[in-house]
Amino acid sequence: SYVLTQPPSVSVAPGQTARITCGGNNIGSKSVHWYQQKPGQAPVLVVYDDSDRPSGIPERFSGSNSGNTATLTISRVEAGDEADYYCQVWDSSSDHQIVFGGGTKLTVL
Amino acid sequence: QVQLVESGGGLVKPGGSLRLSCAASGFTFSDYYMSWIRQAPGKGLEWVSYISSSGSTIYYADSVKGRFTISRDNAKNSLYLQMNSLRAEDTAVYYCARVVSSGYYLLDYWGQGTLVTVSS
C-alpha cells in the first residue's frame, strides 16, 4: 500500500514561513490534499489538488508537489495556525484507498 | 450550509457490535460519495471506508475489511457504519466526511465525530 511520510513536528516563529513536507513514491503524479486539525475539532481542508485553496482559506496557505515530495507552505504564520496538518492522496493503484500521512504538529514559538 | 452529524458511538465490549449513523443536510446527498475516517486517541487520521453515491461501489481499509460494513440511505440522507467483532484498537473518534471524487478523492466537509470505546 502507498505510504505518506510527514515530519512529526515543525516549529516556526510568528511572521515567518512554515513548510510542512509530505513524502511518497512519485507523489508528484498524484493530487495531494492538506487538512488542518486543531485540538478537539474536526479536520478542515486547507489545500486541495496540490495547490488550490477552498473558499475562506487565507492566501497565506499554499501548496506544491513535485517528484517525491509535496509541501504545504504557510506564510506569515500566526498563533492561530498552530495545529496538526495532514496530507492525503487517493491511491488508485492499490485497492482505491484514501491514504493519510502521519500528521505534523505545527508549533508557533 | 453543509452539515454532517454523527451518532451511535459509545462503550462496547471486545467482540461486540455498534452501528454509527451520519445525518447529512445542506447538499444533495445522493450526488456525493461519502466516507468514514477514524482517529485513535492522540493518533493521526486513518481512512476506514468510502461508498459511491449510488452505493454500488465500496472500499475498505485492510484493518476493517470483513468486520465493518458501510451503507447509505439516500432517501433518508444518511450514511451508516456497521461495526462487528470490535477490538480495542478500534477505539477512536469516527468522522463521516463528504467526498469530492472528480478525478481525485478529497474530503471537503467533515462532521464533528462520535467516540467509540472498545473495552471490557
How far CA A100 is from CA of A8, A51, A89, B75, in Å, comes to 13, 17, 7, 31
- CA B118/CA B82 separation, integer angstroms: 14
Please determine, for residue A40, whether its predicted confidence score (pLDDT) is greater than 80. Answer: yes
What is the reported pLDDT for B96?
98
- Name the one residue in this structure whose C-alpha cell is 512554515: A18
Please determine, for residue A94, whether its predicted confidence score (pLDDT) is greater than 80. Answer: no
Tell me the percentage of chain A whose pLDDT exceeds 90.
93
What is the reported pLDDT for B66?
97
The residue of chain A nearest to residue B107, with distances taken between CA atoms, is A45
Please determine, for residue A93, whether its predicted confidence score (pLDDT) is greater than 90. Answer: no
> How many contacts, defined by CB atoms under 8 Å, are there between A and B?
63
Out of B44, B105, B110, closest to residue A102 by CB: B44
Please provide the average confidence, as pLDDT, over all residues in chain A: 96
